[in-house]
Amino acid sequence: MNLKIAVLSGDGIGPEVTQESIKVLKTIAEIYGHNFEFQEALVGAIAIDETENPLPEKTLNLCRESDAVLFGAIGDPKYDNNPDAKVRPEQGLLKLRKELGLFANIRPINAYDSLLDKSPLKREIIQGTDMVIYRELTGGIYFGQKKISEDGTVASDLCEYSKLEIERITHLAFKAAQTRKKKVTLIDKANVLETSRLWRRIVTSISREYSDVTLDFLFVDNAAMQMILNPSQFDVILTENMFGDIISDEGSVIGGSIGLLASASVGNGTALFEPIHGSYPQATGKNIANPIASILSASMLLEHFGLNNEAKQIRIAVDKTLKRNIVSVDINKETPSSTSQIGDVIVQMLLKPDETISE
């Protein structure tokens, strides 16, 4: 298969972890005879430094004409601590999501058997967790009108959803549930928010088209508690933009590190694949960041194009690496491996498929 992949590695540890997933994708291309072409472009704080624009036109055009985007991370403390900044790195990612129409962000969360004791949660609680969050990505409070009064003392962010925005991601979530444990949980705040009540009405109505899937509801405050009290109750979680942002970071505790969580953002055209973690500025350039979230995002990229076996081989290689305790400092403080060592080991495991499969 020929794939044109735009590489937007961004800020902080973004370039380091993305480099490892490119290494892995190149290995897959070599083994299976695919032709993956990588083209890099600027986004985020580094794009602001060089062009004063967090998403330069050139970057957006490259993404539009590519089959997929491999995204690293975005963000820089010099903006985080400055509420008066006129342009912010995050605007680059938000605009990219909007421009590419990436309305659904898919975030799988699993407990790895080999890491059950790495989570601060008890192993009995997290064992068997296998859920996927369908987070709406181009609507809600992130994109509603923002206002600040002239004297700077009152501000507002509008949370708005339309029927169409809710419908399209709901269908994706139900279709996913049909291939999994056949359960969708809608997370909202319908006891308070009008938008949540609209979600409930529309999702309930669509659920009738999927008679093999059960639908239940949780208020987001209770959901935040249930996520860590009893995570294995979940299959597909469907939720709006900001609730999805918050509960997915919470969910990362289950797997043992946020450095393991990958995501796919899909819509009508080019899809984007990115770790859910941020730019982790303290680790930049130290070769200590966990590349697995990025490598698993590359695996989701392959799956998106129907390269299911290739995607699976990456997951198997990652599992084996974790089992052998070849992990970064976020998971193993005593004898950590470096970012590039982990990438190299995964590449080696892919190149020796017999060993990879036999374990």
DSSP string, 99-141: HTT--EEEEEEE--GGGTTTSSS-HHHHTT-EEEEEEE-SSGG
Question: SS3 of 331, please?
Answer: coil
Work out which of 11, 16, 245, 274 binds Mn ion, going by CB under 5 A.
245
* 188 classed as catalytic: no
CB 330 within 8 A of CB 322: no
- Helices 57-64 and 89-99: crossing angle, nearest 10°? 30
Residue 245 makes contact with ligand IPM by CB under 6 A:
yes
Where residue 280 falls (left for φ over 0; alpha for ψ -120 to 50; beta otherwise) is left
CB 321 within 8 A of CB 327: yes
Active-site option among 58, 163, 221, 286: 221
* 212 classed as catalytic: no
The nearer residue to ligand IPM, 16 or 90, going by C-beta atoms, is: 90
Question: SS3 of 83, please?
Answer: coil
Residue 24 makes contact with ligand IPM by CB under 6 A:
no
Closest approach, Cβ 301 to ligand IPM, in A, equals: 16
Task: Name residues contacting ligand IPM, limited to 93-122 (CB under 6 A).
Answer: 93-94
Residue 235 makes contact with Mn ion by CB under 5 A:
no
Closest approach, Cβ 276 to ligand IPM, in A, equals: 5
Q: Which stretch binds ligand IPM (CB under 6 A): 87-95, 152-160, 169-177, 293-301?
A: 87-95
**Which residues, other chains included, contact 60 with Cβ-Cβ below 8 Å and sequence gap of 6+?**
95, 96, 99
Closest approach, Cβ 248 to ligand IPM, in A, equals: 7
Closest to 144 measured CA to CA, from 76, 195, 74: 195
* 245 classed as catalytic: yes
DSSP 237: E
The nearer residue to ligand IPM, 15 or 336, going by C-beta atoms, is: 15
Give the residue nearest to ligand IPM (CB).
90
State the residues that interact with ligand IPM by CB under 6 A.
Answer: 74-75, 90, 93-94, 245, 276
State the residues that interact with Mn ion by CB under 5 A.
Answer: 245
Give the residue ranges of the annotated binding site for Mg(2+). Answer: 221, 245, 249
Active site residues: 142, 189, 221, 245, 249
